[in-house]
Amino acid sequence: RYGLDIILANIYKETPFVIVMVYAVLLKTDNRLIQTASMLGASPVRIFFRIILPALMPIINTVFIIIFVYNFGSFEIPYVLGSSKPGLLSMRVYDYFFMKDLSLRPVAMAILMVIFVFSMSFVYIYSRVISKIDIRDRKL
């Protein structure tokens, strides 16, 4: 109901990708920083928020953008799970494009262009905001 099944299916589908990407960055993180912080008396929570999380933020932002763009126009999960209320644009595009009436194909392509422009605008704005936050944090 209300797309919760689609959200849960996307989380289930994308979790391994996120784990692999984050794990790759964790393997490259220098353990000496963590050991030094613990020897200097930092708690595990402080080590996580001051050392590990800042090292993970670039990959978390990148993975978020990849998953957002992929899932914004995602078609396969809503198609397999059935219709949801409210309806998704990707399902409407599929219906318009593969209906017997070929006159609705331009409508489907126009909706796809709107989806593309919106997602690229979101990625651009998100990247600008994150870069400004990152620069501000580096100055501290």
Put simply, whether the predicted model's pTM sits higher than 0.85 gets the answer no
CATH of 4-139, one of 1.10.3720.10, 3.20.20.60, 3.90.1300.10, 2.30.33.40: 1.10.3720.10
Residue closest to 89 by CA, chosen among 101, 106, 71:
71
Burial of 66 (0-12, 13-18, 19+ CB in 10 A): middle
Q: Say if residue 72's pLDDT is above 70.
A: yes
Report the first-to-last Cα separation within the chain, whole angstroms: 45
List pLDDT tens digits, range 12-46. Answer: 999 999 999 999 999 998 899 999 999 999 999 99
In the three-class reduction of DSSP (H, G, I as helix; E, B as strand; rest coil), residue 85 is classed as: coil
Domain spans of the chain, in order of start: 4-139
